[in-house]
Every structure is written in structure tokens, then in C-alpha cells.
Amino acid sequence: MQDAAKLVELAMQAGINAIESGTRQCDAVAKTYSAQIHGTDAFGGEYTSLVPMLPSGVGTTTPHLTWNSGPFNHGEATILELAGCRMRYHCPMSRTVHLGPPPPRMAEVADVTVDALNIAIEAAKPGVTSEEVHQMWNTYVKRYGIEKDSRMGYSTGLNYPPDWGEHTLSIRPGDKTILQPGMTLHVIPGIWLDNWGIEISETIHITDQGAMKFYDFPQHLVVKD
């Protein structure tokens, strides 16, 4: 999964670089695929259990949409939800790009989401339950008028299609699974509102000392001219 993390860093950076006003969505995805599979000089990548997800514009109001051949538009957001895959081990990541200045509320929600994401990661320690991690996230975001009662993470790791989630653990109310060393989780507190959405996520490894992030990639809302 550490190797897969390097692959998703390459794919995510390629995708972010490719998102420009007027560029076709399919062309940007082609560049992410190239980086994802070409990999590094030491190792290449494999096909992931889910295709790259790339909702853009009004598509960001709902999760799990893929690309089309239409262009990216100035004044709109695009979400990239990708993974790197090495020997079938997956390391997912989500980031959000906005072409031009984002709406003030969107910029605020992005900052709050990142702060709450890191609070949740800090809480993800052995002996803590999945729902307690969700509670830490929710307590923080509610101060800013953000409501999210649905899941904001799940177990991931060794996977084949149709999913890179394991369907065993969900970071959500009611899931009393106790976190243990060796677990690997994709913490993805997506926010989908009426006009736009934001996803900024981390894949983490539960260790004896707490959660360790697999990659070191900027977490902020990416704003491009």
C-alpha cells in the first residue's frame, strides 16, 4: 500500500495539472491513467477496482460520477477520486479543483472539511470505535452549519473489482467496530450540496501509536486560474 500511495500521488498530480478551462474531461482522465499505470522507475501500476471518478460542475453535487467528453468550465469545481494499485493493494485519494475563485462558502467548507478530516484521523487509534471517529468529525463540522450523518470512511486494502472498499467497516453512526493495529482505512468525508461538492480524503494505517497517513499530498481546495 505504500507503493500504491506513490502511484496515487502521481495520478492525482497529473489529473490536477490536466484540469484547465476548455480541456476535455476524457483527456484529463487519460493523463491520470498514464501516470497511474506508468508508475515509477522501480515499479508500475495496475488497474484499479474502480475507474477514476471525475464529477465536474453540477456533477460534484453527488458522488461516484465518472467523466465524459465535455470540457471543464471556468467557475466550476471538479472532484478527482482516484487510487493507486500495486499487487492488488489499493490506496485511494480524493481532491477538489476549482477553476477560478471559488464561492466564499465553498472555500470555508473546504477549510472546515480539512480541519475535521485531521481531527478524525487523530481520533483513529486502537480501541476507538468507528462511530466514535465519525462523532469527532461531526461535532466539529456542526459548529459551521455542516451536516453529514452518512458514512465518512471505510476499510480498504487488497481488492478486485467492483470496489476498492472492503464492505467490513464503515466510519458512520452505529458502527461499533473497534479499530485495531494493521487496519487500513480511506477517510473520505465528502460534502455534496445543491450547487457544488467537495471531497478531500486520506488513506490511513492504524498503528499501535495511532493513525499514519500513507501519502503526503496537499489537502487544500486547489484553485486554478
pLDDT digits (tens, 9 = 90+) for 201-224: 999 999 999 999 999 999 999 999
- pLDDT tens by residue, 14-37: 999 999 999 999 999 999 999 999
Confidence of residue 117 (pLDDT cuts 50, 70, 90): very high
Of residues 206, 133, 165, 161, the one with CA closest to residue 50: 161
For residue 94, the domain's CATH number is 3.90.230.10
**Rounded average pLDDT over 178-207:** 97
Of residues 172, 183, 184, 199, the one with CA closest to residue 52: 199
Distance CA 196, CA 212 (A): 30
Distance CA 56, CA 220 (A): 18
Distance CA 84, CA 46 (A): 8
Task: Give the structural domain span for 14.
Answer: 2-224
Q: Is the peptide bond before 162 cis (omega within 30 degrees of 0)?
A: yes
**Rounded average pLDDT over 56-63:** 97
pTM, two decimal places:
0.97
Distance CA 151, CA 166 (A): 14
Total structural domains in the chain? 1
> Is the per-residue pLDDT at 100 higher than 90?
yes
